[in-house]
Copies of this chain bind each other. A is one copy, B any other.
Amino acid sequence: MPELRRDPVVGRWVIIATERSRRPSDFTAAPRPRKGGPCAFCGGQERQTPEEVWALRPGRGEPNGPGWQLRVVPNKFPALRIEGELEPTGEGLYDRMNGVGAHEVVIESPDHDAVIERLPVPHLAEVFRAYRDRIVDLAKDPRLEYVMVFKNHGDLAGASLEHTHSQLIATPVVPLMVEEELTGALQYLRIRKRCIWCDIIRQERQEGGRLIADEGGFVALAPFAPRFPFETWVLPAVHRSRYEETPLADFTALAAVVGRVLQRMTGFLEDPPYNFMLHSGPLRSPSLDHFHWHLEIIPKLTRVAGFEWGTGFFINPTPPEEAAKYLRDDGAESAVS
């Protein structure tokens, strides 16, 4: 059973794998060469994964058989496990609990060589719908407090399998980073009576220099203080705190905006490693006036080094105003000037 441990000073939680503990010789710094298919995520290999919990089969077909467009399966090597009780225990200064949670994989295509940004918009819209459906289902488990949806693309961004996929990890506590956003945003609401992200959208629309896209009810922008070069946030233009409350019809517009941002990013940065992370309100919160869900996309072009790990400061060699020029649809021309 993995274990959740809490740092007693800053309150950060860490998942410690106690079962399959890795010894020094298990670590390798060498980059993984591209393997090619077929792999366990490919069409026709369905028996190699745990049984699916969600799937899209436009031509029907049996569960756990071929014919699917999208599949969600439990992670074969989960960071947290669905069985058991939390059993929080103290040990002097320290707190620990059982690593209870869920860890699922969204296989975004049966094709080993597919890349998410080249999927047709209706297909990508179904990926975003799958996230929603899984969050709604996982929320039924009262032990879970949060679901983080994320994608790792490329070896340096932490992807251990090359077949295109994203992941959901459901945790029994609200993560520290989400808590920090909630705290900062609540403070803002108390003083100004407004959602801080709604105000960010308003200001970015007025100034324009960091705006990347604004259409179909979604805004993409380069944030004012980005940690990473070409970091991009995508938000619904209207206030909405929980991703899972997105009307089904809106996922097409979301897919169109995210798909185009990723297309431009992978184009001019030549297939960079990247992560994206969905920040939504906690499962047990009602709709919140101060939280606004958003998708953060971070290409991994710079190394995170001692200064960043020690301070929480980030050094970003590309101003967001420059990044936005490249990321906008008309960016090819304006960026050269």
Contacts and interface: CB of A to CB of B under 8 A. Distances in A.
Interface of A: 3, 5-18, 20-24, 26-27, 29, 31, 79, 92-94, 146, 148, 150-152, 154-159, 167, 169, 171, 175-178, 180-181, 184-185, 188, 196-197, 199-200, 203, 207, 223-227, 229-230, 268-270, 272-273, 275-279, 296, 298, 301-307, 309-320, 322, 326, 335
A223 B169 CA distance: 25
6 contacts: A13-B313, A24-B230, A24-B326, A150-B310, A171-B313, A279-B310
A310 B296 contact: yes
B185 A18 contact: no
Contact of A9 (B185, B276, B317): B185
A318 B21 contact: yes
B312 A225 contact: no
A107 to B, nearest CB: 16
Contacts of A305: 150, 152, 157-159, 275
A317 B150 contact: no
Contact of A151 (B18, B279, B306, B313): B306
From DSSP, what is the main secondary structure of chain A's interface residues?
A: mixed
Contacts of A275: 305-306, 309-310
B224 A94 contact: yes
A180 B326 CA distance: 36
Nearest to A269: B24
A175 B20 contact: no
B18 A158 contact: no
Given A229-B27, A316-B14, A181 B9 contact: yes
A198 B169 CA distance: 35
Contact of A313 (B14, B224, B226, B319): B14
A200 B92 CA distance: 9
Nearest to A156: B29
Given A306-B151, A318-B21, A14 B276 contact: no
